[in-house]
Amino acid sequence: MAKTKKAIRLSGVLATLVLLLLAGKSYSQSGIDLRINEILVVNDSNYVDDYGQRSGWIEIFNSAYNTVDIGGMYLTNDPTNPTKYRIPKGDPLTRIPSRNYLIFFADNRPTRGIQHLNFSFSDTNYIALYEVNGRTMIDAVKLGLQKSNVSFGRLKDGSSEWGYLEKTTPGANNFTGEVISSGEKFVAIDPYGVGMAVIAMSVVFSALLLLYVVFKNTKRIYSINLKELLSRKKAVADLPKPEPEEISGEVNAAIALAIHLYISELHDHEEAVLTIKKVARTYSPWSSKIYGLRNLPK
């Protein structure tokens, strides 16, 4: 029973690991991790579309660490009509990879492709993204006064802080400043490496202390088990040994008689040959008594 439970637990762990490994390659239909990340309303000399035309555009950012399929969801510029533009399903373009972007052009020319919306920014200051059910809002932005060729977006991808960006970054990171790594920050705090040395020594000594505690407890447990084993062995050795049972005279006499008869062959011999003789009897209806003659009385 214990082995069965252990096998079930091991199977559960392996299944969980497989699911976690496959999670990175899976496609999610939920858009909870999607964000409206950057918007350019007035495009006079900025980003051009696949037709070489300039128009307003919307950048959608996937903040998740798995691919999200935006197909079937809705973009709108009308709060009273959340299903104004349905993003087509089944196109590889709608699958936004982890921490990546997808651009939609607000040019009111949907016949040019799935990235071209059926509305523009000429008569709106509102953009919203809805789930496939057309009722659940994922994200929405209310726009203020917009500048020409200056995009309005999140200061860092997926963050909650909005503002006018120094550079338009369609399909790229909104933050264009210098990125300081954790190592550089630590060097700035500890330029001479004193803190790093203290941390390294603390880790080493902590590991040595842990090993000492483990080996000490292991040795004590082993000593206790060895003493217990020796004490049990001694207790078994001190137990009184059972005395052999005496055989009665009748049993001895029966055994001696059986041996004597076996040696002397004083037992009956019977012939084991059987003789079977065939008895032949000829039958004739004339020899039957019913056909026999009998003397009638005179």
CB atoms within 10 A of CB 104: 21
Kindly state the DSSP code that residue 148 receives in the 8-state scheme. Answer: B
**Weakest mean pLDDT among 11-15, 108-112, 232-236:** 11-15
DSSP 8-state assignment for residue 286: G
**Annotated domain spans of the chain:** 22-177, 180-226
pLDDT tens string 122-157:
878 899 999 999 999 999 999 888 889 999 999 999
Question: 226 pLDDT exceeds 80?
Answer: no
Residue of 287, 282, 47, 64 whose CA lies nearest to 168: 47
Query: Cα 18 from chain centroid?
Result: 4
202 band by pLDDT with thresholds 50, 70 and 90: confident
Q: Rounded CA gap, 152 and 38, in Å? A: 6
The span from the CA of 78 to the CA of 80, in Å, is 5
**Mean per-residue pLDDT over the chain, rounded:** 81
Span 248-274, pLDDT tens digits: 778 888 888 888 777 776 555 555 566
pLDDT in tens, 33-74: 999 999 999 999 999 999 999 999 999 999 999 999 999 999
The pLDDT score that the predictor gives to residue 2 is 52
What letter would DSSP give residue 105? Answer: E
